[in-house]
């Protein structure tokens, strides 16, 4: 089973992906990252990827247009696989 962290888990698309993953036996969302914490999830939600202490295989990301410096450094340090779901991403997959 693939263990995933959902970045942006409390946004509209984050909730859609969480529901899809809940029905799929091959993937489990083990943690989420979102500044907004007003939604109850089946997994712990952290305000920042740097404080997330849950081990995972991949990060699912629905980014906003903002500087990604901290996000990228944590992805690099923790050796996560990363997939960008935006159509305007220059790269659709990145790994160390």
In this prediction, residue 29 has a pLDDT band, given cuts at 50, 70 and 90, of very high
The answer to whether 93 touches 75, Cβ cutoff 8 Å, is no
Closest CA to 13 of 71, 83, 64, 62: 62
**pLDDT, position 50:** 86
**pLDDT, position 66:** 55
Averaged pLDDT for residues 73-92: 56
What is the Cα–Cα distance from 90 to 88, expressed in whole angstroms? 6
Model's pTM, two decimal places? 0.68
pLDDT at 95 over 80: no
In this prediction, residue 49 has a pLDDT band, given cuts at 50, 70 and 90, of confident
**pLDDT, position 94:** 44
Average pLDDT taken over every residue of the chain: 78
Q: Apex CA 56: angle with CA 53 and CA 58, to 5°? A: 125
């Amino acid at each position: 089973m693939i263990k995933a962290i959902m970045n942006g888990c409390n946004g509209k698309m984050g909730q859609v992906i969480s529901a899809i993953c809940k029905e799929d036996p091959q993937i489990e969302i083990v943690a989420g990252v979102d500044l907004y914490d007003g939604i109850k999830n089946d997994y712990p939600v952290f305000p920042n990827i740097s404080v997330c202490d849950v081990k995972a295989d991949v990060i699912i990301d629905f980014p906003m247009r903002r500087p990604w410096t901290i996000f990228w450094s944590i992805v690099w340090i923790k050796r996560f696989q990363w997939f960008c779901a935006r159509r305007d991403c220059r790269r659709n997959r990145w790994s160390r």
